[in-house]
Amino acid sequence: MSRAPATRATPDEQPLAAEPRARVLVAGASGFAGALAASLVWRHPRLELAAATSRGDAGTRLDRLYPRHRVPIELRELDLDAAGPLDAALVAYPHGVAAKLVLELRRRGLTVVDISADFRLHDLATYERTYGGHGAPELLAEAVYGLPELHRERIAGAQLVANPGCYPTAAVLALAPLAEAGLIGDAVISAASGVSGAGRGGGDRLHYVNVDENFTAYGTGGHRHRPEIVQELAELGSTGPMTFVPHLLPLDQGLLASCYVRLSREVSEAEVRSLYAERYAPEPFVEVVEDAPGVRDVRDTNACRVMIALDRSAGRALAFAAIDNLWKGAAGQAIQNLNLMLGLPETEGLG
């Protein structure tokens, strides 16, 4: 029996709502974060998706590679000269590879959000100990750490923003009010993420039979996101001991950070609850909740759900933060940052 051809769910012309504020390149759009970034730009009312690039999947339509994103454009090899006029770029390359492209984009005057780790650490020596040689150390001083809840004004004036890692995003948002109040004596951060956090090329460790019905710690000798967390908490005034242990969840996406803090002084539960409520009341993407948050609560959103409680018997505060690691932990936060950099409403395209 013959079947009618399937109809395309999305028109080939991007559905912009008004004159675009910027023509945007998404470099590395075949990875999980890059594909979502391209999808968010495509659906954004004021950003024009000028090109989405991939080396390994060039020539493939993005809606064939990721049907759920419904982006009907063909991935291309990166060719800046052939891309036409560009105003901004989201770079979703692996760390160690992104820096040289970011340098070329900045030389051409583009506004850049780098989703890799290449510009997150301010100190070159710390970067080199963590990741190896740096491809564009001359840009480190220019890069602004892209956690809007901490650095909104600097992001709005920046031309290069380093998008935070997923674990640091959740951990720092969970702990920032305590750090700012000088309440952290020491902290233990136990965080768990879905397998998409490792990218498309995760290897045998992320094979279905190893992940399904399993729960494992990794990076116990020192995870590369630890220096990032230490850096941001230190800028908030917290320099005490900090232990960070990541875990792998048998989920495709989602991240929960559970933080156990020995307090520097005695506080009441009402005081810490008020601290969190006041700190995050103006934040469009941080929700302070009374019950422990779960990753399903925030899936496919740019929200971070935070909860604070006290364990009086141990003299500790318990802080939890749940995010979608591909949204607030990567592509969604990149759009939030780009909105700020372009003078657009921070929440635009993320509702």
Residues identified as active-site? 166
Spatial CA neighbour of 113 closest among 75, 143, 83, 157: 143
Backbone angles phi, psi at 70, to 5 degrees: 55, 45
What is the distance between the alpha carbons of residues 78 and 286, in angstroms, rounded to a whole number? 35
What is the distance between the alpha carbons of residues 115 and 15, in angstroms, rounded to a whole number? 25
What is the distance between the alpha carbons of residues 119 and 224, in angstroms, rounded to a whole number? 13
Task: Check the CA dihedral 121-127-132-135 and report its sign.
Answer: positive
Spatial CA neighbour of 302 closest among 173, 216, 153: 173
Cα angle: 261, vertex 263, 266; to 5 degrees: 145
* Distances 247 to 179, 250, 280, 302 between C-alpha atoms, Å: 24, 10, 27, 22
Asked if 189 and 257 count as a contact pair (C-beta separation under 8 A), the reply is yes
Backbone angles phi, psi at 51, to 5 degrees: -165, 150
